[in-house]
Each structure stands twice: as structure tokens, then as C-alpha cells.
Structure 1
Amino acid sequence: MLERGKLDLILHPDDGLLPSHFSSQRLYSEDWICTVARQSKFGDRLTLKQYLNAEHLVITTILSVQNIPDKQLAGLGVKRRSSVRMLYFGAALSCLPGTELILTLTNGMREMVERNSTLRLVKRHKGCVHFIS
């Protein structure tokens, strides 16, 4: 619709899907964090090796398209293992307790994790991948 002149502006995540001939400007940058079940075997920090060897709960709205963390991992030549795919972060957070899954989510969701006594944040170890969007 933008190419046909039916739209003047779109707000779009920087996930590589926007054609390069469009002019764009970054409005903000968001860090990504990892959360696990409070009783998870993972310690307080994750190395890249631990992150890649773990099973992940992945949020995706388009099944055939990689999300931002997966694209950034692909740029490093590595891939994470996704056991479960869901559409919504909120629903995913409620599925973590009782599992050994890792959920990578935007820092904007940090407060939801911190208020949930069944979840905890896991810091990235120095040398672990740092996702930005």
C-alpha cells in the first residue's frame, strides 16, 4: 500500500523486511532480555553456548519469517532451538513456569517479569550475544 501511494507512513520493526528503497528513521532502540522459570536449572548468567544449547519459547507472528534475535544469531552463523512458538509475549510468560525453556523478550517487558514470582531474569554473560532492535 505504501508503494501504491495509499499510505504515507508506516511504523515497522527493523527486521529486514522493509524494502531498501524506502526512507526510514529509527524512533528508538530496544534491548532484549532473557527470562526463565524461577526454579530453572539456569544460573544467574547465560553464556552464548548455554543460550544456543537451550530450548527456547519463541514469539513469532509470521511462521516463515525469522524474528529479530534469530536474524542476529544467523548473522553470527548460529541458530537457537525453538521448542514452542507462540504469538504473544504475555501468553508465553505464563507458559514458562515448570519448564527449562528460555524466552527472549524486549526490555519493555522487564517489569512484567519482575512482578511475577514464578519467573526470573537471566543476565547475559560477557561474550554472549546482545540483541538490539
Structure 2
Amino acid sequence: MLKQVDLSRVDLNLLVLFEAVLAERHVGRAADRLSLSPSAVSHGLGRLRRLLNDPLFLRTPRGVVPTARAEDLSAAVADALARVRSVVASAEPFDPATSRRRFTIGAPDGVSAVILPPLLQRLRQAAPSIDLGICQLLPTRGETSVERAWLSSLLDLEACKLDAAVIPSDDVPARFAKQVLYEEDFVIAARAGHSFAADPNLDRYCAMQHLLVSVTGDGHGFVDRVLGEQGRTRRIALTVPNFLFALAVVAETDLLCALPRCFAATYAGRFGVVAIEAPAPLGRFRLNAVTTKAALMDEGLAWMLSLLSETRPASIQSA
């Protein structure tokens, strides 16, 4: 039989402190987040260490790092706090028409640019006082596994840095909930009148100069992996850090650029850029809105995820 724990002797605020230090990896930043002094956070950590019989966080020159025990506890603490917050929030039912909440959504920039216009339109109609924060999500550099590439986004959800993440990954752990938003593939963007549009075959594609969207400046992308499997290469003449910048450059040059179809359908026409069918299959994938199952006990967040799942890109709506 499990030993009964007298919760009257446990300060549950210590779990909030644990959550903040785990997220910030720094006592000072955790203190700012909680509106406490660094000494108060250090004192609370001391109490928590004694309570859980583990150092929990080890000091480094740049802050603190969690112990294995702290990492093991992270999901359970997040779940417990989500349940407590749900109980407190239930005292006043969530009403989107009057709510003044702020939700933080993470997504790659080519995705957020597609989902944001219709989402804002829905919010103006149903929840005019709700605010949004959009964070750019990036895959882990050099990671070839789609599932592992977006692991940092899942960790941000568990650390409550994000309310929801929209990622091109189907395989998420069981503790997360997901909703498919839309399917995506890639087209080739070129300026209007580009000679490639008249004969878009693979040989001509590989012979031309290309633009690659790469935040890090790395001149090798997923298209190069696809071409490599066929024994082919291409020249990356330029990298730029985001998709809108890519459209502006493509419009004024002879460079070609592989872009998400929905993104191109939404924005290419504004730049005088045309979308051409790719001369070889470049893959198709689903965009999923993901959050933790524990967080879905928050009525407001459950509503926001539902709204996201009902929001289709304008290019799909008009198709």
C-alpha cells in the first residue's frame, strides 16, 4: 500500500517554482518570471530539494541544468499544475466572446503565414479581445528524423512556453494531443515569364541556380536529399532566412525556389511570382496542431485548439 503524504505540510507553490526554473534554466530569470527575488527562488529550491531528496538543478556558468530526477519529474509536475489550473479556471467558465486571454502558438514561418490570416478573421468574429503571440519554430539542425527534428517544440509545450505548436510531424508521444490542420507539398516558385515554366523538366531544374530558405545559412536542404537519391545535384546560389524574403528575391531574379504549395498560393501573386509543379515528387506531409493532453483540461486552450483545427488556409478554402 502506498504511503499517504500529508499535503497540508507541502507548499504547492514549490511546484510552480520547479516549473519556472526548469523552463528558464536560470535562477535569476525564473525569479523575474515569478516576480520573486533570486534569493527567494534559491530558498524555495532548497526546500524542494529536501522534500524530493534530490539536488534537482546543478549550477553551471550559464545557469542551471536539471538532474535526471528533475527530468523524470517534469511531465508529472506539468500534469499536476495543469489540473490545478483547470480547477481554478473552472470557477469562471471560459467565454471566448468576453475573454481577454493571450495564447502563444509556435509554427515554422511558412506555416504561420498561411494559418494566421484565416485564424485572425475567426478571432475577430468570435473572440475580439483575445490576443495571440506567434513564435517561429525551427527543426533541430542536422537532424534527419522528422520526429526528432521537432522534439524541442514538444519540450517547449511541456515547459508552458507555448500553448500550441503547429509542426509537420505525425509521430508525437502519447502524452500529447494533435489535430490535423491541412496537408502540404511543394511547388517551384519562379518570376513570371521565367523560361523554366515553359519546360519544367528535371534536367533543366538541376541545371539552374536555386534559392534555399535556411535560417542557419546551410546550403543543403530536403530537396537536395531528394535529388541525391536520384544521383543528381543542384547549385544553391543564395540562402535567405524566411519565405517572404525568398519571394521578394525570386521576383527580381532568375533563381528558382521550392516553397510550400499553400504558402505560394497565398502570397506568390503579390510578388509577381508563379508556382510551377515540381519536376519530381518532393514529398507530402500533414501539419498538426499539438499540445499536451494535460493542457487540454484548460477550457480556453481546448477552445483555441478546436478553432485551429477548424481554420483552413484560404488557398484550400477557395480550391
Per the TM superposition, whether the score is higher than 0.5 is yes
Q: Which residue of 2 aligns with 1:35?
A: 189
- Alpha-carbon offset, residue 30 of structure 1: 2.0
**1:62 pairs with 203, 216, 239, which one?**
216
Contact 1:45 1:122 in 2 (8 A): no
Q: Which residue of 2 aligns with 1:97?
A: 251
Amino acid at match of 2:145: G
Once residues 145 and 217 of structure 2 are traced to their aligned partners in structure 1, the CA distance between those partners, rounded to angstroms, is 15
Q: Which residue of 1 aligns with 2:171?
A: 24
Distance change in 2, residues 1:60/1:113 (3 Å) = same
1:122 aligns with 2:122: no
Distance change in 2, residues 1:70/1:81 (3 Å) = same
Moved over 3 A (4+): 3-8, 11-15, 25-29, 62-66
Q: Which residue of 2 aligns with 1:131?
A: 282
- Identical residues among aligned pairs (%): 17
Amino acid at match of 2:282: F
**1:113 pairs with 263, 268, 280, which one?**
268
Q: TM-score, normalised by structure 2?
A: 0.33
Distance change in 2, residues 1:92/1:82 (3 Å) = same
Larger-gyration structure (1/2): 2
Amino acid at match of 1:67: G
Q: Which residue of 1 aligns with 2:242?
A: 88
Q: Which residue of 1 aligns with 2:230?
A: 76
Contact 2:219 2:239 in 1 (8 A): no
Amino acid at match of 1:88: N
- Give SS of 1:97's match: helix
Once residues 15 and 32 of structure 1 are traced to their aligned partners in structure 2, the CA distance between those partners, rounded to angstroms, is 18
Distance change in 2, residues 1:82/1:94 (3 Å) = same
Q: TM-score, normalised by structure 1?
A: 0.72
Distance change in 2, residues 1:65/1:40 (3 Å) = closer
Amino acid at match of 1:114: G
Distance change in 2, residues 1:119/1:65 (3 Å) = closer
Once residues 92 and 43 of structure 1 are traced to their aligned partners in structure 2, the CA distance between those partners, rounded to angstroms, is 18
- Alpha-carbon offset, residue 17 of structure 1: 6.0
Distance change in 2, residues 1:101/1:64 (3 Å) = closer
Which structure would you say has the larger RCO, counting Cα contacts within 8 Å and 6 or more residues apart?
A: 1
- Give SS of 1:24's match: coil
Unaligned runs of 5+ in 1: none
Unaligned runs of 5+ in 2: 1-67, 79-106, 108-137, 152-169, 173-177, 286-319
Once residues 218 and 252 of structure 2 are traced to their aligned partners in structure 1, the CA distance between those partners, rounded to angstroms, is 29
